[in-house]
Amino acid sequence: MRIGILGDIHANLEALTAVVAAMRNDGVDTWVQVGDIVGYGPEPSACIDLVRELGCLTCLGNHDAAALGLLDIAYFNNFARQAMVWTRAHLRASDFEFLRNLPLVIQRDEFTVVHGSLHLPEQYGYVISSVEAREALDQQQTRLCFVGHSHAPAVYMRRTPNATELVVCPQSEIEISYRDHERVLVNVGSVGQPRDEDPRAAYGLVDTEQQIVHVRRVPYDIAAVQAKIRSVGLPDVLANRLSLGV
Ligand code: ZN
């Protein structure tokens, strides 16, 4: 099985289209999406359409939850909040219905999907350090778990489910074997708004036969999405940050 994992698309259709083309090239047969299809970017409905078309196994992100009014946006920063007000005003009824039916956690035989940490998933905690990775791994029932939320890729691995030793690989591009590890937590980074100072769109690819996790990066037309962000009246800072990857 070749599992392709998308996440934190954030209504950036240019980035999503580029990543999907690369994943089709990789021969992905199972499509997963770790949440935050909407928020920040100018094309939420088109991104929802493409995610649905691909048949992605999809969980709910905090921005998706905020769009539904399930999360208080008083805690969002100013720009995220402005973008969320815009997003709510532009989503179609069918988009709200799709988002409303997304689960917080998806568990299959081989893998689990959640937006933030598996430790109290409804609180959308970040997995950005080994402390948080340990908390999440303690809850993980499957060998593989795919997350997003921090917009920065990393892989955390344990040889046994309760091992204290942790292999940590935080890099913008990753290729690592998990053959000797029973618990593997993959933060796949962000398609539509990377924050690891690499502006290229990120996605995850797991080959379960070869037992290799990849995080790959794809260049896309950043200027085109920046022009759209400005033309619909979303905050300028949301356009500018895309060229910097922050
Ligand atoms: Zn996000």
How confident is the model over 65-124, as pLDDT tens digits? Answer: 999 999 989 889 999 999 999 999 999 999 999 999 999 999 999 999 999 999 999 999
* pLDDT for 19 beyond 90: yes
CA of 99 to the centre of ligand 1 (A): 15
pLDDT value at position 106? Answer: 98
Mean pLDDT for 6-32 is: 98
The pLDDT of residue 223: 98
Tokens 């990857």, residue? 245
Q: Report how far ligand 1's centroid is from the alpha carbon of 189 (Å).
A: 9
pLDDT reading at 203 higher than 90: yes
pTM for the predicted model, two decimal places: 0.97
Q: How confident is the model at residue 20 (pLDDT cuts 50, 70, 90)?
A: very high
State the distance from the centre of ligand 1 to the C-alpha of 151, rounded, in angstroms. Answer: 6
Cα(183) to centroid of ligand 1, in Å? 24
Of 43-47, 53-57, 142-146, 165-169, the least confident? 165-169
Whole-number Å distance, alpha carbon 93 to ligand 1 midpoint, is 22
Determine the distance separating the centroid of ligand 1 and the alpha carbon of 25, expressed in angstroms: 25
Question: Residue 26 pLDDT more than 90?
Answer: yes
Say what the pLDDT of residue 75 is. Answer: 86
Ligand 1 (ion): residues with CB under 5 Å are: 8, 36
Q: What is the pLDDT of residues 158-174, one digit of tens each?
A: 999 999 899 999 999 99
Q: How far is Cα 175 from Cα 169, in angstroms, rounded to an integer? A: 10
pLDDT value at residue 96: 98
Average pLDDT score, the chain: 97
Long-range residue pairs from 124-128, CB within 8 A, at least 24 positions apart, any chain? 124/61, 124/62, 124/65, 124/71, 124/149, 126/150, 127/154, 127/156, 127/185, 127/187, 128/152, 128/154
> How far is ligand 1, taken at its centre, from the CA of residue 115, in Å?
8
Q: Which residues fall within 8 angstroms of residue 203, CB to CB, at 6 or more apart?
A: 4, 5, 6, 7, 19, 22, 23, 188, 189, 191, 215, 216, 218
Ligand 1 mean position to 177 CA, how many Å?
Answer: 27
Contact yes or no for 213/169 (Cβ under 8 A): no
Q: Kindly report the backbone phi and psi dihedral angles of residue 28, in degrees, each rounded to the nearest multiple of 5, phi listed first.
A: -60, 135
Give the per-residue pLDDT at 101: 98
| Distance separating alpha carbons of residues 132 and 166, to the nearest angstrom | 12
CA of 180 to the centre of ligand 1 (A): 31
